[in-house]
Structure 1
Amino acid sequence: MEKRRISFDLLVFDTLDELSKSEKALMQIAVEARENAYAPYSKFMVGAAILLANDEIVIGNNQENASYPSGLCAERVAIFQAGAKYPKVEIKTIAISVSSKTHIVDRPAAPCGNCRQAIAEYEQKQNSSIAIIMMGASGKIFKCESLEDILPLAFGSSYLK
């Protein structure tokens, strides 16, 4: 038997001002997208902003539905929109911001499993990393350089051959 340890580096920032100018601007767009989320059931608002290689920015926010689980998360709304609108353009960075209408979210929330899988598919498709920046309504900001960091044993198309 062999035991292996899987780990990654996570960058932790105290404020938005510690991010690069472009990352800060992208996160501010994610915050704006979050404010337009449709979350009447969970009251958990999520916004995502994606920076593409052509400098276009695509946004998404969570869209709930009374018929759970037919809603869609902000990250998948944004990444699927990017794939539909700019199918051949590489995704560079995703900024994700979360808040709640019922309590203060003072830490980042990472993408759910479904969103991790969708982002992983795009990393595999474009054969390059997608940086992920995450923040709550307040508190620290997290950044990882690739989805593979938070989903190291991702399922992908190579298994389907």
Structure 2
Amino acid sequence: MKEVKIESFLQVYESFDELPEHVKSLMQEAMKARERAYAPYSNFSVGAAVLLENDEVVTGNNQENASYPSGLCAERTAIYYAGSQFPDVKIMRMALTAGSRKKQTVAPIPPCGACRQAIAEYEVKQEAPIEIYFMGETGKVVKSDSLANLLPLVFDKSFL
């Protein structure tokens, strides 16, 4: 047997104000999207903003349904729209923000497992990493240079 160590490298900004201006503007779009989320069951709203290589910004938010599996997360809403409208344009960066109507969220909230897998698909497809910034409503912001930091043992088409 051999033990293997897997490391992830993330950067942590102490607050939104510390972000570079180009990331602040993308995160502001994600915040606007979060306000439009349809989350009547969980009361947990998520907003995503995706910057494409052609400088288009696509946003998405979570869309819930009384039949829980029928809803869709903000990240997948945004990247699937980007993929359908701009199929050959690379995703450069994503900004994500999440908040609860029950309590203030101050810890950075990363994408769920299903969204990580969906983002991984686009990194593999475009053969380029996607920068991901995520936060709660306020507080620290985490940056990952690639989805590989959040899902290091990715399942992709090479296994099929």
TM-score normalised per structure 2: 0.98
Deviations 1:60-90 (A, max 9, x none): 0000000111100000000000000000000
**2: CA distance, partners of 1:31 / 1:87:** 25
2:81 counterpart residue number: 81
2:124 counterpart residue number: 124
CA drift of 1:17 comes to: 2.2
TM-score normalised per structure 1: 0.98
**2: CA distance, partners of 1:122 / 1:69:** 22
Deviations 1:27-48 (A, max 9, x none): 0100000000000000000000
CA drift of 1:18 comes to: 1.6
Letter in 2 for 1:57: V
- 2:128 pairs with 1:154: no
Q: Which runs of 5 or more structure 1 residues have no equivalent in the other structure?
A: none
**1: CA distance, partners of 2:79 / 2:110:** 15
Letter in 1 for 2:36: N
CA drift of 1:15 comes to: 1.7
**2: CA distance, partners of 1:88 / 1:18:** 32
- Describe how 1:8-157 pairs up with structure 2 within 5 A: 8-157=8-157
**2: CA distance, partners of 1:27 / 1:134:** 9
**1: CA distance, partners of 2:67 / 2:116:** 23
Letter in 2 for 1:16: F
**1: CA distance, partners of 2:47 / 2:76:** 11
**2: CA distance, partners of 1:21 / 1:139:** 17
Letter in 2 for 1:5: K
Contact 2:91 2:130 in 1 (8 A): yes
- 2:12 pairs with 1:3: no
**1: CA distance, partners of 2:149 / 2:135:** 17
Total equivalences in the alignment:
160
Q: Which runs of 5 or more structure 2 residues have no equivalent in the other structure?
A: none
CA drift of 1:139 comes to: 1.2
